Structure 1
Amino acid sequence: MTAFVAGHKQRAMHLLANGGLILLLIAIVIAVSAYIQPRFLSQQNIINVLRNASILSIISMGQMLVMIAGGFDLSVGVIVAFASIESALLMGYLIAWMPEMQVLAVVLAVALAIGTGAAIGLANGMLVALVGLSPFMVTLAMSSVVAGATFYVTKGIPIYGMPDFFMTAVGRGFLFGLPVVVVVGIVVVLLTVAVQRLSSFGRHVYAVGSNPIASRQSGVSVTRILLSVYAASGAAAALTGILLTARIGSGQSTFGGTYVLESIAAAVVGGVSLIGGSGRAERVMAGALFLSVVSNSMNLLKIDSKYQTLVLGVVLIAALCSELLLKGRRKYD
């Protein structure tokens, strides 16, 4: 009997330590929020939660890859803002240049903005991989450079002039019964899962994060991996900025202010190691959903914005401590 109970206890702890804890926390927050504020379960609110979680999931996928490889990307927030401004400006210029080909103009603007985000990320990767600088300091300095360029271009003024169909179709449109933003988020997560589980690149990212010296000795191109993950992080941040632009209807230099902390938090809550070498895309998506549910609940409960950061911090610390305790118990059971 004792062995039976111990076996079930061990399986339960294993389940919680491998993603079950986040799902349990999400369920608890949803239940409490719905009980206190029934509007939480309204269709429009559920759609808002899914949109926010999808946008956070996209930027967190890039952050996760960098963290698995043993680094951090503190520049994702300013890349979001830069991509928002760039895409809005390019759409206005290209549509004025080719008014009868607005769809092509939008596609080109989106592609160029994502390419710019990838280029910024690639610059981060080059400074980390080729020069040997600290990821923390490199991406922090890049944040200052990109933020300065963004405010120089805009002077803090929002950018308008995008075609209505871009905002209607992408920002507020639906596809397969889901918001377009949610569909894009699901596609990005599925692609990341496929890369992690089915490609040699995904395996090499884990290897580099676990032991870069041993990886290099085994024939893995550590430099190529680092360049790739930082470029992917920049591209994911740029895509996030474009989706926010479509949703709001203007390019904003203030976008992305909280996404550095939130993307790292979603990754860590989703089980990504702070020292690299471990992490799964589907769990990071669950972490993004958890943070989005908590944020939405606080808005519905009319918690003052000044206290929301504090509450999120407390919730994050509690989740991290629970995750650590579960891993420790599993280690010694």
Structure 2
Amino acid sequence: MSTALTAAEPRGTIGLRAIAGRIGFLPGLLLLLVAGMSAVDPQFYGIINILNILRNASLLAIVACGQALVIVAGGFDLSVGAVVALASVVTAKTMAATAAAFPGNVVLVIASGVAAGLGCGVVVGLVNGFCVAKLKVSGFVVTLGTMSATAGVGLMITNGIPVYGMPDIFVKSFGRAQAFGLPTAVHVALIVIILMVFAQRRTLFGRYVYAIGGNVDAAVVSGVSIQRHIVGTYVVSSVLAALTGILLTAQVGSGQASFGGDRMMLQSIAAAVIGGVSLRGGVGRVELVAISALFLTILGNALNLLHVDSRLQPVFLGVIMVAAVALDELIRRRRGRV
């Protein structure tokens, strides 16, 4: 067991040192963006805009943390956006049906809806993980297929019509509520990030994920259960995506099959890559991914305030992502020459 861990951990440590320049300037770039927008548009530092930024960044950070875990293990999860949408409509449908069957039992209604939404994430994650770990199918192909299937199921359930009928306490007292001046989604995201940091640094699961992504052959020789841990990464990713769908449902007050989509998937991958997660696996920290999610959210908000054409905004995301990947490859090659 020690062989895989010692093989993976130094690589992660060296990788963090090697990309320190990229990660180090990210907070500075974030501060520069905030300062610039504050000077250009006073609406930027308005309390409503700040709360919207924090809420949206929190939702993206939750999905991106799960995506980062899969990438660290050497995989990809393209289905996260579709899982967000499916969890949303299933949660809303379940709550509406339970409320009709058991009127007045708010606790049962909310519990059943949340359980059903998270259950969707578990099922999709198990399917993804089983196909990748057991059947040895490419994670890119598998999650591309489940993305299409999951999105289709969500549309079939709703016929493209928003689903209502959720308890007011779920929407007003949870989804739209604030605690200590911050939206509920921010508190949930902080809990998720803390748990993910703990899992990465203090648990065998986190160490084994680094070992698998860093050197899968060494991990196999050391007796690491490759299949079980790969399945675990996909389940965590899908469950976090489902949690995001539930939070969006509570915030908007309806379940919608239009939530998530390709944009959430692309942004989650971009947040992971810009946050220092290597596409080759074995390197990455979720706390840096969370900072990257905040940066991308503020950038999108700034483009909206500057009235940049919405058709051009994905160009900025694409350029930044390509630059991050290119920089990661350049650093890897320079490290290989040392």
TM-score, normalization by structure 2 = 0.90
For 2:31 and 2:40, the matched residues in 1 are separated by 14
Overall identity of the aligned pairs, in %: 46
For 1:15 and 1:79, the matched residues in 2 are separated by 31
CA contact (8 A) 2:278 2:328 kept: no
- Residue number in structure 1 paired with 2:166: 162
The offset of 1:166, in angstroms, is 1.2
- Residue number in structure 2 paired with 1:21: 25
Q: Residues 1-333 of structure 1: matches in 2 within 5 Å?
A: 16-17=20-21, 19-257=23-261, 258-321=263-326
The offset of 1:145, in angstroms, is 1.2
CA contact (8 A) 1:17 1:327 kept: no
Deviations 1:264-283 (A, max 9, x none): 00000000010110100100
CA gap 1:14/1:215 in 2 versus in 1, 3 angstroms: closer
Deviates more, 1:231-240 or 1:92-101: 92-101
Deviates more, 1:149-158 or 1:322-331: 322-331
For 2:173 and 2:329, the matched residues in 1 are separated by 43
CA gap 1:330/1:217 in 2 versus in 1, 3 angstroms: closer
Deviations 1:224-253 (A, max 9, x none): 101100011110110011111111111111
CA contact (8 A) 2:69 2:233 kept: yes
Deviates more, 1:49-58 or 1:104-113: 104-113
For 1:185 and 1:291, the matched residues in 2 are separated by 16
The offset of 1:210, in angstroms, is 1.0
The offset of 1:317, in angstroms, is 3.3
Deviates more, 1:294-303 or 1:314-323: 314-323
> SS at the partner of 2:311?
helix
Task: Give 1:161's aligned amino acid.
Answer: G
CA contact (8 A) 1:169 1:180 kept: no
For 1:157 and 1:80, the matched residues in 2 are separated by 16
CA gap 1:237/1:283 in 2 versus in 1, 3 angstroms: same
Deviates more, 1:269-278 or 1:107-116: 107-116
The offset of 1:19, in angstroms, is 2.4
For 2:144 and 2:81, the matched residues in 1 are separated by 11
CA contact (8 A) 2:129 2:235 kept: yes
Deviations 1:30-56 (A, max 9, x none): 122112112111111111111011000
Number of residue pairs matched by the alignment: 321
CA contact (8 A) 2:273 2:321 kept: no
The offset of 1:119, in angstroms, is 1.4
CA contact (8 A) 1:294 1:312 kept: no
Task: Give 1:179's aligned amino acid.
Answer: P
For 2:299 and 2:328, the matched residues in 1 are separated by 18
CA gap 1:325/1:317 in 2 versus in 1, 3 angstroms: same
Deviates more, 1:182-191 or 1:25-34: 25-34
The offset of 1:331, in angstroms, is 7.5
Deviations 1:270-320 (A, max 9, x none): 000101101001000011011001011111111121111112222333445
For 1:58 and 1:227, the matched residues in 2 are separated by 19
Task: Give 2:271's aligned amino acid.
Answer: A
For 1:15 and 1:69, the matched residues in 2 are separated by 18
For 2:331 and 2:33, the matched residues in 1 are separated by 20
For 1:316 and 1:25, the matched residues in 2 are separated by 15
CA gap 1:287/1:328 in 2 versus in 1, 3 angstroms: farther
Deviates more, 1:17-26 or 1:204-213: 17-26
CA contact (8 A) 2:81 2:259 kept: yes
Task: Give 1:273's aligned amino acid.
Answer: S
